[in-house]
Amino acid sequence: MAAHLPEPRPGTGWTVRPRPEPDGYTTAVSRALELIGDGELRKVVLARALELTGDHPVAVPALLTRLVHADPAAHAFAADVTAPGDPAPRTLVGASPELLVSRRGALVVANPLAGSAPRAGDETLDRERVARLRDSAKDLGEHAHTAAQVAEVLGRFCADLDVPERPEVIGTPTMWHLSTRITGRLRDPLDPACSALGLAEALHPTPAVCGVPAPRALTAIADLEPEDRGYYAGMVGWSGLDGDGEWAVTIRSAEVCDRTVRLFAGAGIVPGSDPDAELAETSAKFRTLLRALGLEHLV
């Protein structure tokens, strides 16, 4: 029960290693903007990491419980990703706001998110931020790349597809996001390619975690990000024998191994992006996990 859940320990005894340092991230964003200006890219998502090491092993069940209570609407998960050579069990844990795809019978739903603003925690300021996000040409353009690609992919499998003309704004405890809920009805639910997993594989990676065009964005990510993303920006979920299932994008996540927590957060770089603003966006996205660890003051 929430009432009996121990509070996270205060952030003493933790070491924090940003990878890269903030200046390194803003430099990478500037380089990405040069590629966009040269016409090589229309969008690329650049991520950065925080590696935290504490005095005691991290209790994954308690961490997951805090994430669920903080945002019951999120897609919460904890998956064993232990690899050879790990000194202890390794768990991918998180609370993703982004549904990659779900399938129930012939009904398919995807909910791409792109275009974001940090939540202020003040009602008046948050109303202003939501209004700016809803009318931001930069963020609407960034979102359009993602929604269009998701709709194009699902359109290969669906006889009917409903794509709203404009995104809505949804909120998490730390962020505001532009959101488009896309629904469709499969032509042939018995086709193995139309299983929840098959659809997820066809969709991944969306421009929300990669970029446009995807091949060039993947090359830019490999060139500009110093850290391997691990399981960040992948997909996590389930599929049944009947083809039904649900898959979420592994954002707002961390890999936990004994006393070490490795977090990632990314931001979509498009024309008009500001390096310092993108750095601030990644800091805000880190707060989902940092709050659950009692370490929000670190960013």
Q: Which residues are catalytic?
A: 43, 98
Phi, psi torsion values for 192, nearest 5 degrees? -55, -30
Phi-psi region of 39 (alpha: psi -120 to 50; beta: other; left: phi over 0): left
With tokens 């340092």, the residue in question is 21
Q: How many CA atoms lie within 13 A of 141 on its CB side?
A: 12
Closest C-alpha to 76, from 199, 251, 296: 251
For residues 61 and 67, give the distance between their C-alpha atoms in angstroms, rounded to a whole number: 10
CA dihedral (247, 251, 253, 254) positive or negative: positive
The two structure tokens encoding residue 238: 């389930």
Q: Quick check: 112 and 119 in contact, CB under 8 A?
A: no
Identify whether 97 is preceded by a cis peptide bond (ω within 30 of 0): no
Residue whose tokens read 């990632």: 264
CB neighbourhood size of 152 (10 A): 12
- How far apart, in whole angstroms, are the C-alpha atoms of residue 99 and residue 181? 9
Please check whether residue 163 is in contact with residue 170, taking contact to mean a CB–CB distance below 8 angstroms: no
Query: Alpha-carbon distance 154 to 165, whole Å?
Result: 16
Helices (H), the chain: 22-37, 60-70, 123-135, 137-155, 196-203, 214-224, 275-293
